Structure 1
Amino acid sequence: MKKYFVQSAPFIVPTTDGKLIEEHHGLATTNNPEISIAHMIAPPKWSEPFQTPEFEEYTYIIKGKKQFSIEGDIIVLEAGQSIKIEKNTRVQYSNPFGEPCEYIAICKPAFDFAKAHRE
């Protein structure tokens, strides 16, 4: 039995807002409830509803900028920066800027839409 797995076919999450979501590890791809790792590209002027997820979310910005509205605070991260948001924290993710934002998102436990609690 191999003690490793190389992911070369991530699950492309269907979206209607122009955002690219490629889940490399998680519930949709590897049936792993412990952690999810996704590569994402948020288009300019993109945003999603507020949510209060039951999982921690880590974000690492590769290119561009991403805005986080976290319980009343507005934080903007740029390439090379990262953030950890604790579970049960009300947050909204957006890219109000004029260029795409490419980033990696890691959720622990794994992202589960039913546990994201979007408004």
Structure 2
Amino acid sequence: MVCQSWGGVIRICPALPTAWRELVVHDFRTRGACLLSAVRENGRTRWVRLRSEVGAPCVVRHGIEGLVEVRDGRGRQLRWEPADDGGIRIRLRKGESALITARGDRPDPRIVPVRPNAPAPRWGLPA
């Protein structure tokens, strides 16, 4: 499972296979009406972005190593507080967004497709 929203906690990559070292998720709708985007590079979560559609606090287990910082859509620091099990609690108003990164890291928050790391059978509807 790439993202999971359970009991009000948003978990990023809770059961991702180790072979999936690169991952992009874009506008995944979570419980609580947040749109979530996230990027993993070299097996590490680089950033997580949440955009609130209704305005409510959310708890995120982001999986980013070390200390984190949270910024709004204009790059200003947002307040957050620690939550249980290594998560953080962010209070967002309707339409606000938060970008979670490792402290001091400034990753490119653009969404770019991930290249496959191995051949795989096609799935979904036939072409």
Aligning the two structures, in what range does the TM-score lie when normalised by the shorter sequence? 0.3 to 0.5
Give the alignment's TM-score, normalised by structure 1. 0.35
Q: Which has the higher contact order (CA 8 A, sep 6+)?
A: 1
Computing the radius of gyration over CA atoms, which structure comes out larger, 1 or 2? Answer: 2
- The TM-score normalised by the length of structure 2 is 0.33
